Amino acid sequence: EADIYQTPRYLVIGTGKKITLECSQTMGHDKMYWYQQDPGMELHLIHYSYGVNSTEKGDLSSESTVSRIRTEHFPLTLESARPSHTSQYLCASSELGAGGYTFGSGTRLTVV
């Protein structure tokens, strides 16, 4: 079934560790996004991509980085995790010109 998949679902790591949150979609969408969201709160755009080798920073300043080497894959990396990074990270994708986003199930990150 075409969908957008995020792994891991939950992650607890120590301060200073490097982590990569995975996001893959099988819908053939060109556009992909990363949002940071505290549970039930605002969605903050941190990165987006309009296609392969295209990445842009979003509205919320973030210490993370992203890459888009393949259409279906849009991983997010934190080089050195801090407790302030504790949050839920949602990946989404959309088709150019279509408007609506499909969200992944999210990764709930806790940095201790």
Partner 1 sequence: GENVEQHPSTLSVQEGDSAVIKCTYSDSASNYFPWYKQELGKRPQLIIDIRSNVGEKKDQRIAVTLNKTAKHFSLHITETQPEDSAVYFCAALFTNFGNEKLTFGTGTRLTIIP
Give the footprint of partner 1 on this chain (CB under 8 A): 31, 33, 39-43, 45, 48, 50, 90, 94, 96-97, 99-106
Number of H helices, E strands in the chain: 0, 11
Q: Which is nearer to partner 1, 31 or 85 (CB)?
A: 31
Of 84, 99, 109, 95, nearest to 9 by C-alpha is 109
Neighbours of 51 (CB within 10 A): 13
Question: Minimum distance between the CB of residue 64 and partner 1, rounded to whole angstroms?
Answer: 18
Question: Minimum distance between the CB of residue 79 and partner 1, rounded to whole angstroms?
Answer: 26
Q: Which is nearer to partner 1, 15 or 54 (CB)?
A: 54
